[in-house]
Every structure is written in C-alpha cells, then in structure tokens.
Amino acid sequence: MGKIAFVFSGQGAQYTGMGKELYDCSPAAKAVYDMADSIRKGTSTQCFEADKAELSRTVNTQPCVFTADLAAAAAVAEKGIKPDYVAGFSLGEIAALGFAGVLSYEDAFKLVCQRGQLMDKAAQENKGAMVAVLKLTPEKVEEIAARFDKTYPVNYNSPIQTVVATTEENVEALMEAVKAEKGKPVKLAVSGAFHSPFMSSAAKGLGEYLADKQLNEPTVEIYSNVTAQPYSGNYKELITKQVESPVQWQKTVENLIDLGVDTFIEVGVGKTLAGLIKKINKEVKVFNVENKETLEALSI
C-alpha cells in the first residue's frame, strides 16, 4: 500500500455551516471547535451561522477555516487513519503545523488569528487584487506578469492554473493580456494581494509575534509552501516568509507523489485542493472530508 498525505484547505472555500456536521458527529472535531471558542469566543457560531460576507473578511476567514480544517483532520484521525505526510495551502499550512505538533492546537489557533489580522491590515494599507490564470503554463504566466509593474505569480496551483497578484489598476490590462495568449483570467473575490510583496508588513509582524514562541519538531513530516520541501532549518522564518512568498503547490504535490504518496485526503472546507491534485496527477486517489457523509464514505 502507498502512503497517505493529509492536505489542509486554504482561504476561499469557506461557506456557511462549514464543519457543523463533524462537530455533531465527531467528539474529536467538537473538541477542536471548543478549543477555538475558548480562545476566540463565537468562532464555532461564526463557522455555522455567519453569512458569506462575514466569513469572507480575512480576520474571520482565517480562524474559521483553520478550525474547520483541524476539526476534519481530527475526525479522520479518530477513525484510525493517520497520514505519512501533511501539507496545507496558505493558511491551511498553519492548521497542518498544529496537527503535526509543531505548535499546540491552542498556539496554532492564536497564530492564525494573528496572521489574519496582520494580513487584513496589510491588504488595507497596500491595495491589491488577485487573478487566477487558467489554460496557460506557469512559464507563460510568468512571462505575462513580467510585462506589468508590481505583478507577481503567487500560487503555482497546477500545470494549467497559476494565480497572479497585482494592483487594482493593472487588473483589466492583465486580464486582456491573458486572453490575448488564449488563457482564461478569473478575478478572485479576495480582499488583498496575498503571498506577494504586498504582504511584507504582515510577514514582519508575524516574525515579531513568533520571536518568543516555542516550536517543536513535527510528529509527522510537514511540507512548506515556500520550498515545496519538508520543514527544516528555521521554522519561524518559513512561517513568516510564507505570507509574502508564492505557494509552490504543484511542486509540493509532485514531491509527495515521488515519495510514494498515492492517497491524498483534503481535510477542511470544500474540494479545491482535491481538484488541483487531480489536475497534477490523474493516477492518485483523492478524497475530501468536510461533513458526515464524506467522513463516513472515506474508506482506505
């Protein structure tokens, strides 16, 4: 049998009611929500009842998606399914750090709350936008981005999907340039230009926050968005650098497959990562767990 990787969902897939069924059916998932509520009162209510607009505010999205991610992973582990490796997409990496024991659940939750506040502040101070580019190679997207000022490829999601961060002023011209190259541009409904130099102040603030925090060696190997390699060296630097650096998702998935991973379980919210993984490699098995039905259907 091949190896298993848990992959933790990122920002953007949030929805009203996320995690409620797992809260109701899994003691391990409920414990995660109770932990979040003990630190940030009303987190579970926000996950279960808040509307899309409220959940889409970065200061709310990050702690809520983190909680849903970690709760789903705890529910899967409660079934006796344990991963050989873990990785998370953007804020999902913080949930992965908690699951892997680099930080306690409580400290990882406090970190993601701080991260959300810092990124929200940076987004307000440095207005930007993000555009997903479909049907073009990463190399072609890099070539197009280089034509514009303050424009950066930031999410290397699959062989035919790369997300670009840019200024609001550049968006229309950038989208026209993508269309001219036979690509499909989609402006994302996000509040800032994440994983780019627009987030440098957030990275600085995160570094200051982590300065006196104790980090542990992971109990399960965790992959970094920044390097697409296992965490090594200065963990705090990898965590802070992540918010202003591209997410190397495609390379991460390819590296895990090279290590023998043939089963990926997306834990958390939606199945965006499951879809991306299938675009990277059609041969691997991909599951997502976000509610009672998908938890019960998980059979490995």
- Please, are residues 76 and 298 in contact by the beta-carbon 8 Å criterion? yes
CA distance 24 to 26: 6
| The dihedral formed by the CA atoms of 29, 33, 36 and 37, expressed in degrees to the nearest 10 | -160
Reported as half-sphere exposure (CB side, CA atoms, 13 A), residue 199 has a value of 29
The catalytic position among 90, 158, 191, 224 is 90
User: Active-site residue 195, yes or no?
Assistant: yes
Determine which one of 26, 158, 195, 224 is catalytic.
195
| Cβ-Cβ contacts under 8 Å for 24 (sequence gap 6 or more) | 30, 292
What whole-number distance in Å separates Cα of residue 61 and Cα of residue 75?
A: 21
DSSP reduced 3-state for 221: strand
By annotation, the residues acting in catalysis are 90, 195
